[in-house]
Amino acid sequence: MGIAVNLVTYLGDTMHLPSAESANIVTDFMGTSFLLCLLGGFLADSFLGRFRTIIIFALVQTLGTALLAVATSMPALRPPACVGEACERASGAQMAFLYVALYTIALGTGGLKSSVSGFGTDQFDEKDEKEKAQMAFFFNRFFFFISTGTLLAVTVLVYIQDHVARSWAYGICSIAMFLAVLVFLAGMTKYRYKKNTKGSPIVHVLQVLVAAVRKRKNPPPASIDTLYEDCSGTARIHHTHQFRWLDKAAIVMQGDYEQDSPFPNPWKLSSVTRVEEVKMMIRLLPVWATTIIFWTTYAQMITFSVEQATTMQRSIGHFNIPAGSLTVFFVGAILFTLAVYDRLIMPLCRKIKGKRGFTDLQLIGLGLVLSTLGMVAAAVVEALRLRVAARVHAKGEETLPISVFTLIPQFFLVGAGEAFIYTGQLDFFLTRSPKGMKTVSTGLFLTTLALGFFVSSILVTLIKSLTAEEGGGGWLADEINQGRLDYFYGLLAVLGAVNYVAFWVCAKWHRPEVKPGLQMESISKTAVNDEEQI
């Protein structure tokens, strides 16, 4: 976050790139970081395990941050300073080195994030009621400490970037990551290590899909008792009637077994339990899809909102607040919301209703509502800022006579929304997925962040193209004072409202089918009352 939150100003002020292009580079970098979580999850499940995956990719991230420190310290790796209004754009070679540094960091982030939360939940025994209850607090505190790190990034690191040197700030990041690896290694003898003896869950999902497609022309089974099953006891998941086309993967046919082998070919025949695991993952997808738009909204907080701040009055006495540090209100909202929820709302819910707090779907819904309101506030503030710019005939990034603190409502609303939606999503994907697919479900959750950033890039490119006027301009002009960013924020508010309606429908549909006697520990207890979830 110390990189992402202030990268847009570096790309514009130092590398001399246009506003929309700078925003897209940041969102593409962030999107790739989270998309690579799927790769990290696959490696953790298939080869490395979560512990080794965390170590290896944390070191990769350390290397990438060191490369970024080099990229920002060497004059040969950036264009010369502007002479008057004449600015030379960064060359292809200069941008290439910057991309190598950024995407090395993205690779490290992907591997690290895919495993760290799952490794944290491995430390709790789900069969122990006391430890299972503690896991709910873990999700909140896990995110609380992430946000504490972000708070340091948007205050201390951004100040160092703007007032000392970016290379010093990124060097500090690299050293801090290396020290974090050492701290993590110090707990080796105390961790619980859970081995995955069943192979990659991604491969298992593909095997079920391939087997079902191969047998797509077969008639449905006359009885579910004829379907293949190789699991028993608590590991077994009983048959459900949803997505019955997948049941064909469990129909036993001639040729399903390897020659001279008592075991079937997994690409031709899957057990009912394996099929039901895939069904459980499919049930997550509608809610998964309706959380993407939140992260598109979030992307504006570290791109266009920071750019807004560069044009506004940011001084307090003799101190000039760095534009990137305005996101401290965003992070502060997250920390404040989590603290209130952890220390006030959860104990109150436990005392009044005997429950641990809001359900995961309630948290997600609340986050979507707050982010939509945040975009409404952003549109109103930007319309006010543009009126001031028009009144004083401001050009470029000239400081306008309007306080940067008018941006606080949008930062606070979206920040509070993230506090709810991040913990809600993490709980939803980890507790409602099959026990053997926790890493994949974490990767699925993190892909919503990736796709949110990519949707932001696509939306920015599309809006810039559709609204462009002759000689520039449009909603997302190269000079922010010449555009209509308020319209763009308004569009995101409308998309957010429509998306919430879609989420409401998907949340109502998400009803795991549980039969009497069914033991399915991976389904959260919060899935019992669907009306409360809404």
Note whether 172 and 43 are same-domain residues.
yes
Per residue in 253-280, pLDDT (tens digit) is 888 887 777 888 888 898 888 888 888 8
**Are the CB atoms for 94 and 121 separated by under 8 Å?**
no
Note whether 348 and 475 are same-domain residues.
yes
Distance CA 42, CA 346 (A): 35
Distance CA 436, CA 152 (A): 36
Q: Helix 438-467 and helix 201-214: axis angle, to 10°?
A: 80
Chosen domain end from 276, 310, 332: 276
Distance CA 148, CA 171 (A): 19
Please tell me the predicted confidence (pLDDT) of residue 439.
66
Whether residue 527 is predicted with pLDDT greater than 60 in this model: the reply is no
| DSSP designation for 400 | E
Please tell me the predicted confidence (pLDDT) of residue 131.
80
The parent domain of residue 76 ranges over 4-196+277-533
Note whether 354 and 496 are same-domain residues.
yes
Note whether 210 and 235 are same-domain residues.
yes
Distance CA 222, CA 248 (A): 11
Name the residue with higher pLDDT: 441 or 471: 441
Strand 400-403 relative to strand 312-313, pairing: parallel
Note whether 299 and 314 are same-domain residues.
yes
SS3 content of the chain, % helix, strand, coil (to 5): 70, 5, 25
Please tell me the predicted confidence (pLDDT) of residue 426.
81
Distance CA 115, CA 184 (A): 13
Q: Binning pLDDT at 50, 70 and 90, where does residue 525 land?
A: very low
Chosen domain end from 276, 297, 314: 276
Terminus-to-terminus CA distance in the chain, angstroms? 32
Per residue in 380-424, pLDDT (tens digit) is 999 999 898 888 765 555 688 888 889 999 999 999 999 899 888
Distance CA 267, CA 122 (A): 30
83 - beta bridge partners? Answer: 86
Note whether 108 and 256 are same-domain residues.
no
Note whether 152 and 47 are same-domain residues.
yes
Q: State the average pLDDT for the chain.
A: 83
Give the DSSP H or E segment for 330.
helix 328-340
Please tell me the predicted confidence (pLDDT) of residue 515.
42
Per residue in 185-238, pLDDT (tens digit) is 999 999 988 776 566 777 888 899 999 999 888 888 778 888 888 877 777 888
CATH of the domain at 512: 1.20.1250.20
Whether residue 143 is predicted with pLDDT greater than 80 in this model: the reply is no
Distance CA 176, CA 193 (A): 25
* Rounded CA Rg of the chain: 25
**Are the CB atoms for 77 and 94 separated by under 8 Å?**
yes
Q: Binning pLDDT at 50, 70 and 90, where does residue 524 land?
A: very low
Q: Binning pLDDT at 50, 70 and 90, where does residue 511 land?
A: low
Chosen domain end from 236, 256, 276: 276
* Percent of the chain with pLDDT strictly greater than 90: 24
Note whether 172 and 288 are same-domain residues.
yes
Per residue in 187-201, pLDDT (tens digit) is 999 998 877 656 677
Q: Helix 408-431 and helix 292-301: axis angle, to 10°?
A: 150
Q: Binning pLDDT at 50, 70 and 90, where does residue 177 land?
A: very high
Whether residue 486 is predicted with pLDDT greater than 70 in this model: the reply is yes
Please tell me the predicted confidence (pLDDT) of residue 375.
94
Note whether 143 and 258 are same-domain residues.
no
Average pLDDT over residues 321-337: 82
Note whether 290 and 380 are same-domain residues.
yes
Note whether 392 and 348 are same-domain residues.
yes
Domain count, the chain: 2
Whether residue 532 is predicted with pLDDT greater than 80 in this model: the reply is no
Q: Which of 152, 161, 54, 64 is nearest to 106 (CA)?
A: 64
Residue 255's identity, in one-letter code, is: G
Whether residue 289 is predicted with pLDDT greater than 80 in this model: the reply is yes
Whether residue 514 is predicted with pLDDT greater than 60 in this model: the reply is no
Picking from 20-34, 86-100, 463-477, which range would have the lowest pLDDT averaged per residue?
A: 463-477
Note whether 191 and 322 are same-domain residues.
yes
**Are the CB atoms for 179 and 356 separated by under 8 Å?**
no
